[in-house]
Copies of this chain bind each other. A is one copy, B any other.
């Protein structure tokens, strides 16, 4: 950083980053599919070639984190290994080979006057990504934005700064070789929190969307302060409902997987609702499977009577995303009661029904307004990769523009192309 730049305030630095991002966006908007693919495949190659530098940068971050007394899951999220770099490279390659969304005709039709109208995908512009300690978000978000023709401003956590910098350098190699400006991907050079505040104000109109990736306090701050649209979910208070028509084996296997495969992800189940008609047959085997895997059971009065392992659930339990090996369990008298409970308590992320009765499934699918509804499968499939999107920049629970896993298609807008042969409007 030159002496002149060093004198800039953070607000000035961020505004300059915004203006540069718009320059990048204008170049990416007209980049060819081959240019974007080349940029990403080259970046993947650079990530492989610069493994040592990336691991060395990560070692700096890890040492600083340990010195600050950080440990446990946070430290594990920060860690890069050769295997994790392999995963990052694979993700960038997968995104490189996705169909290019920009220019895709989403719909087209003819008018009686002979006009032909097409609705085609266009980039959104500039995406601001605010994330915490996972260095892989740097590569995922950068690659998804390049593929969808958007410039990206990456603001990583201070703990992962060196790792992110090393990864961004590889993305810049790719942009350079593809003849695209390096302004397409910018890493905010300061870890001061003021930089986040500036991004949330939109950098003079130079950020079109903000995507927060991290814990609830980060997402809550972004959602309440942002003056630009936000793609995010504050929490995943996910429900599994066992219908009276549920197959017992599916009920046990899906509930166990939905809760216990990984308890810390947003698609993990938090509340189990069981129809009273199958409480006698299905509840015990499901609970037994969960308890055998170390899950704590918090039940309503009926569950308490049936399950000796259960502790009493309080009102707060129905509102809690545990992100841990705990599940709240309630017996409901009907499908309608299950729907009402979910509509009342859900964070509208993902909900599952286990049922063989097709009519019950349709009622569940129609009656619940969550981003993802699942029939006879685990809620942990709520993921852009599992949806076939080749990756996701996040999962959105809002209803505007993007909803559910946000992949390259959801990072686009559209415009209309109208073709005539001299038509005038009467």
Q: In the complex this chain forms, how many copies of it are found?
A: 2
Judged by DSSP, the binding face of A is mixed
Alpha-carbon gap, A416 to B423, bound state (A): 40
User: Chain B contacts of A425 at CB under 8 A?
Assistant: 257, 261, 378, 380-381, 386
Alpha-carbon gap, A372 to B420, bound state (A): 13
Q: A261-B424, A373-B416, A381-B115 are in contact. Are A400 and B209 (CB under 8 A)?
A: yes
CB of A421 within 8 A of CB of B370, answer no
Task: List 18 additional contacts besides A103-B366, A249-B422; criterion CB under 8 Å.
Answer: A30-B367, A209-B400, A253-B424, A258-B424, A365-B417, A370-B415, A371-B415, A371-B416, A372-B415, A374-B420, A376-B422, A377-B418, A381-B423, A381-B425, A387-B416, A400-B413, A403-B414, A404-B415
Say yes or no for A195: interface residue by CB 8 A criterion: no
CB distance from A165 to the nearest CB of B (A): 30
User: Chain B contacts of A258 at CB under 8 A?
Assistant: 424
| 8 A Cβ contacts from A80-138 to B | 103, 109, 111, 115, 117, 122, 124-125
Alpha-carbon gap, A381 to B423, bound state (A): 9
Say yes or no for A300: interface residue by CB 8 A criterion: no
Please tell me which one of the listed residues B103, B247, B415 contacts residue A403 in the complex, with CB atoms under 8 A apart: B415
User: Chain B contacts of A214 at CB under 8 A?
Assistant: none
Say yes or no for A250: interface residue by CB 8 A criterion: yes
CB distance from A125 to the nearest CB of B (A): 7
Chain A: interface residue total (CB-CB under 8 A): 59
Say yes or no for A324: interface residue by CB 8 A criterion: no
Alpha-carbon gap, A261 to B425, bound state (A): 8
User: Could you pull out 25 A-B pairs where Cβ atoms are within 8 angstroms?
Assistant: A30-B366, A109-B388, A111-B386, A115-B386, A125-B399, A209-B400, A229-B400, A250-B421, A257-B424, A257-B425, A361-B419, A365-B417, A371-B416, A372-B418, A374-B420, A376-B422, A377-B420, A377-B421, A377-B422, A378-B424, A381-B420, A381-B423, A387-B416, A400-B413, A404-B415
Chain A 256-273 near chain B by CB (<8 Å), digits 1 or 0 = 111001000000000000
